[in-house]
Structure 1
């Protein structure tokens, strides 16, 4: 017979282990739904979403007695985008559900949705590497205001086909830090005036750069040389062709492990740069240094 005081240590085998709460690893939601020209492909229209672009016509001056035989020919070009399918599939046994804390199992749905959203965003970001390099700092060089400003100017004033729709810049947080450093370059040397510099010093940089709406996206991949591709493009510059929005389905496998639920999320979409008769006009790549800042 034991003697002495009773503590949790003496009854440790009787103490339950309960998961008090659960959290999902944080990740970026993605930016493509706010920056792309979203097109939903109608059912029964084939494998690809298609768009036909009519070329411009030209007028001419005539007189009252003119017999004008200068006919303007109608012509154009077709762009086709074939959405591709993506899926996440999960099988969970009934025994797992019975034994697992409801705090954990309640987050399975949001976790799966996050995976689909991240994959879609990564497909969008992958198109950046194919954009025009006219306004790209280049590997190893810092990002700066001027590259965004010149990209916006090239979009709005493009001699092949100008565009005055909304313009967006999507950068990795490390790239955005370079622009913030530009704004704050005078801090410590000059008096900080009230306005943009003071606000940036207090709150960090966000908002609009040279008429371009800036989005931060941590899903942008940093390569082995610590460089990354950001981009500036107009809304019309990138098409998101959606063949099917996310479809949620469940099934039963009664033969596996005493019974299991099979859960699937499936969608169909693709991203492509919209060009003008095959010419790049509204999307510009910003390849730049993306080293983690230290000061």
Structure 2
């Protein structure tokens, strides 16, 4: 999946902006290195958005452009709104400031992100929800699944299995009301996806995420945002897995979220991810 995304980006190279931290030199250096590597691989035409003097102090490649701003969170979204760039990557910007700008400039109270993750065994899949306040309702879950199926269509992987997780096994029904609710919702979600024509290949894998991976599910949905965030952190920070960025699905222009402390490969993949989505106008 990741290689397919990179191939699409190379074939349809777009102009992508990436945010650069204002003060942390380690973050600045990492962002620049990732952007240079992405440019070398032909994933995008890249604009660094941040403090020009700080960025130039690292001696950047001539392939990269700089948009000077002392408020890069605001500037990056403005460039996107003004269509100066086709897509944006958060890069090493502050999460809270960046999210605030997204909600303000796009006038949306809710966001839906779906992440591109990879296990230590190199199996890649789309995963949601990853924010603690995301995917709380059945409608929200359907929206996240639709985001995943749109991405699978982009990769010519329609019909791949979808794994729906819950808080327990079917045999656990009756042990805890909260667990019972997640199981009932997972079963209902599978039915809704079939009824609405979203997918006939969605399956409830109960609490057994390992079974969803074994079934090679290319979209996996956690029961809620808290458990999703924990799964994400466990995989990426403890389980030798990788994140390649997370797409903000419900916005008019492609934005890919990254961790401010993310490794170089995450930023590089995120640039390719943004370029691929922008090229297909998802």
| TM-score of the pair, normalised by structure 1 | 0.24
Of Structure 1 and Structure 2, the greater strand share is in: 1
Larger relative helix fraction: 2
Give the greater-gyration-radius structure (CA): 1
What TM-score do the two structures reach when normalised by structure 2?
0.25
